[in-house]
Structure 1
Amino acid sequence: MHITEIEARELAPNGILRAAINTGNAVLARREPAPVGASGVSVDLAQHLAQQAGLALELVIYATARDSVQGVKNGAADFGFFAIDPKRGQDIAFTAPYVLIEGSYLVAEASPIQDIAEVDQPTHTVVVGQGSAYDLFLTRELKQATIARAATSPAVVDTFLQSGADVAAGVRQQLEADAQRLGGLRLLPGHFMLIRQAMGVSHSRGPRVAALLSRFLEDAKASGFVAEAIARHRIPGVAVAPAENTLA
């Protein structure tokens, strides 16, 4: 995809492309020692965009999705990688998704809960990462269960165990890894939400920048770049989102 000099200046007014990277979702990004900072599918996409725009890239690394959204909203980063959510959409213009990830529930092996439909009960407490897509979704959807919030998504299972809660909610891959690490835990079958991970930019940057990100991402999906990044980082259970029409 060709990005003009004018488009590059609109994308990165400071002359350096600043990408907000959320390392709280280990499926898409993880911390690395300096000077690398972070690696993963979202980092690969940020590098690919910078190369096509002829810009130097700066990774603005955050530990949580909430802080990553805030960084793009307040101008500390030019764009970021987020799960699409209507509340975030008040501040962020999203592209179509580039990958689809399952949001799952984890319980203790001895728990009587066997099905997702059994979770929303007044006696149950569900632990989520504060400000995560799962927090936003379950805050809207759970009508009876209590929601407890861990400081970050990677801390959900440890918080769940320490607090004696009934259910942990998060990215399937993270929960599977924690269950394997700790033992005595199991995932409920199926998923409570299908997370649509997208790129996003502050509405204040205008529709032209949002359209540019959308065109870039559709090209990255169609060319096989996203699928190759998923394979390169060995991420099981993540699907490339289907193609969608880009903005005019």
Structure 2
Amino acid sequence: MDNLLKSIFSSEEEELYVLDCLAYFMMFMALATFFTLLFENVPYGRYASSKYGFPVNVKLAWFIQELPAFCIPLGLVFWTSSAKSSQLANQLLLAMYFCHYVQRALIYPFLIRGGKSTPFASFALAFLFCLYNGYMQTRYLSHYADYPPDWVTHPCFITGSLLWLLGWITNVHSDHVLRNLRKPGETGYKIPRGGLFEYISGANFFGEIVEWAGFALAGFSIHSAAFALFTFVVLSSRAVSHHKWYLTKFEDYPKSRKALVPFVF
């Protein structure tokens, strides 16, 4: 893989410049996505539509679209000269990243029960995003990110790491709650209960937003910040849409629940 990267970039300075550009472009895309989502929901799940292409089996879609976020980083860490991956801060940040995507790519798709097929356009865009972001995050952390020797004891790293852990646990638990809403053979939607779902409609989205916000704080780079911003834009919009949908769908939906942030919003 080193030879492949050397054939693409003439120097490490050029690659780092490209990584920075990718991060700023992701921030631009987050802004464009924010305005787009004011008028249109991301078309998968309950908002799936045939106008976005032929349907792809939901388990297959999740597995394939998330796989680049695991496989590309794996290659970048183990099959390139990962100059910075021996440093503790870099190792811990890479571990956070891989912990999420091992669960999301290799475990989560096979736990899905039912679920609507994913339109091809949504599937393809998710695949490209995972490819893009997987390269950007792990190449920066494994080869370029240079932290002070005591960075792992810095308040930003400690606070960010704790937020990441809290968000990851919340996200995984909330997915478990959603999977177990229906008994075997049941169809249709139900009101989620338990955990943070007692307070917000988008507990799973809240967990993932907190997770990547913590990662951004611990990583303290434009690359991790861009990922956190993009995640926030997409998932906060989805949480608000779900909240409105629940209120319309169920007359007995708890009126005290907020959309995304407990007691606030």
Q: Check whether TM > 0.5.
A: no
> TM-score, normalising length from structure 2?
0.28
The structure whose Rg is larger is: 2
More helix per residue: 1 or 2?
2
